[in-house]
Amino acid sequence: MVRKVKPIWEALGKLDRRWVYLFVSLSILFPLLFPLNLPLTVTKHVKAVYDRIENLPDTSAVLIAFDFDPSSIPECLPMAISLCHHVMKSGKVLIVYTNFPETGPIAERVLEPLAAKFQREYGKHYVNLGFKPGNDVLLMALGSSWTTSFPKDFRGNSTQEMEIFSRFPSYRHLSFMVDVAHGATVDFYITIGLAQFGVPLAAGVTAVSIPQYEAFVQTGQLVGLLGGLKGAAEYEKLVGTKGKATRGMDAQSVAHLVIIFFIFLGNVSVVRNIILKNISAMRIKK
């Protein structure tokens, strides 16, 4: 019995989606195993964040808010690591806190090795305040004092006795802040931190949020923007490290090409079907 073979365009229109999953998986797997070292260009929004931190006086304090939870670690954690690396390496004071209860320990795991590497002293050069509920209301309170809202840091130490808070007693004393966020926390840093307290702000956001926050870069409300894994990889390049974000960029590029290819095939198949349908309708009319 001769098996009837479907025309290729008809077969493509009914392609089992599991083939797409397979090809996308392979397009990620191979570049991870055999890196292609594709070129990575640093965009101006990322460079602006780097330059702002780099050009701050050594006596400045920078806040990095770890506003993400484990579901956004792949995109946000590489950004947070690179930013903390940069602040500590350049000798500025680093304050870290989070609006997510489960992220305090993640921040601690980032800060400890970096502090050891750059010989930064806890409570003098950097601090991890951990989590406090309140979001925008908390931020308003931080405009008056760090130590009232955070009487103890993540490690349980009293913040009253820390040198860092005698030099920088409130949010208003910061020179710069970056919100590494997977959600809408950037909004209240814009509306309160920037608009009310006048602290310059940048954001590191998941790729999904890039279009939403690009508008704030255009208006000058955000100094710069790190977007998704690519933003993290760009910052890794600027600080001279090769972390997980850089490792994932080849896979990201190849997977994007595969997805574009499938979108193209799908559209060609749909357009072809529409044309054939119209032609047959015209023939029937005749």
Partner 1 sequence: MIGTWVAAFFTLAIFSFLYRDNPIYRLAEHIFIGISTGYYIAVQWHSVVKPNVVDKVLLGDYLPLIPGVLGLLLLLRLIPKYQWIARYPIAIYIGVGAALNMIQYTQGFLIAQIQGTMLSPTSINNLLIILGTLTSLTYFFFALEHKHLSKVSKIGIGFLMLSFGAAYGTTVMGRLSLLISRFDFLLFEWLGGMF
Query: Using CB under 8 A as the criterion, which residues of the chain lie in contact with partner 1 when the complex forms?
Result: 18, 21, 24-25, 28-29, 32-33, 73-75, 101-102, 131, 133, 136-137, 187-188, 190-192, 194-196, 206-211, 215, 218-221, 227-230, 244, 247-248, 251-252, 255-256, 259
Nearer to partner 1, 95 or 249 (CB): 249
Q: How far is the CB of 25 from partner 1 (least distance, A)?
A: 8
Nearer to partner 1, 51 or 136 (CB): 136
Nearer to partner 1, 37 or 219 (CB): 219
Nearer to partner 1, 168 or 171 (CB): 171
Q: How far is the CB of 29 from partner 1 (least distance, A)?
A: 6
Q: How far is the CB of 101 from partner 1 (least distance, A)?
A: 4
Helices 73-89 and 44-54, interaxial angle, to 10°? 30
How would you label 75-106 residue by residue, b for 16+ Cβ within 10 Å and e otherwise?
bbbbbbbbbbbbbbbbebbbbbbbbbeebbeb
**Spatial distance between the Cα atoms of 172 and 149, rounded to a whole number of angstroms:** 14
Could you tell me the two tokens for 268?
A: 């060609």
**Spatial distance between the Cα atoms of 77 and 86, rounded to a whole number of angstroms:** 14
Nearer to partner 1, 57 or 220 (CB): 220
Q: Are 180 and 81 in contact (CB under 8 A)?
A: no
Q: How far is the CB of 23 from partner 1 (least distance, A)?
A: 12
Nearer to partner 1, 60 or 221 (CB): 221
Distances (CA, A) of 161 to 124, 127, 153, 158, 167: 10, 12, 11, 6, 11
Q: Provide the 3-class DSSP secondary structure of residue 58.
A: coil
Q: How far is the CB of 70 from partner 1 (least distance, A)?
A: 10
Q: How far is the CB of 241 from partner 1 (least distance, A)?
A: 16
* Bridge partners of residue 205, in order along the sequence: 181, 227
Chain centre to alpha carbon of residue 17: 29
